[in-house]
Structure 1
Amino acid sequence: MPLFVKIEKGIVDKPTFDQYVPDHVAYVKDLISKGYSARSGYWGDYGGGMLLFEAASLEEAQTIVENDPLVKNGCVSYELHEWRIVVE
């Protein structure tokens, strides 16, 4: 399956953001259990994060991102890209 990356930047205050982090973590764990090979993390020096995952198509990837609690609750702005690996 193709790989996709959601690169995000927080757009709300930290207390608001932090209240949706547990839901985001649960969402990513659910993606993993469904075979999307998802990984999520944040930049140590940038103030944002990234979600890397597999999806069958750009349309499916967009649906996955739109259902992320951080997106649904207006906590982040994001870019979605297909990542094509050149060297493994």
Structure 2
Amino acid sequence: MSQRIAYVYFMDDKPQQIAEQIAAHIDYWKTAELSNYEGGPFSDHSGGLILFDAEDLENAQQIVEQDPFQKYQLLHCHRLKVWLPE
């Protein structure tokens, strides 16, 4: 059974590199064909929240590692959590 995953991330202060990768980041998540995907940036553009279904946290980590923001080390920090919506 799949688990609902919450991926919260905060950006490093690297505006040029972020600008270069933002289109690839958006494209990656929109084309990843993840079940129950939804996500977007925070209003202050400091990071974002992405929700999706994955087999487990290990599978979710593999998915997140392919995000261009991760690949190019543009994040200050991130967290993956199993989310239990009621």
Number of residue equivalences: 84
Give, as a single letter, the amino acid of the residue that structure 1 aligns with 2:37.
Answer: A
Aligned to 1:11: 12
State the percentage of identical aligned residues. Answer: 26
Partner deviation per Cα, 1:49-78 (whole Å, 9 max, x = no partner):
111111111111010111111111101121
- Give me the CA root mean square deviation: 1.5
What TM-score does the superposition give when structure 1 sets the normalisation length?
0.84
Give, as a single letter, the amino acid of the residue that structure 2 aligns with 1:64.
Answer: I
Alignment of 1:43-62 (within 5 A): 43-45=42-44, 47-62=46-61
1:37 CA displacement: 2.4
List alignment gaps of at least 5 residues for structure 1. Answer: none
Q: Which runs of 4+ in 1 moved over 6 A?
A: none
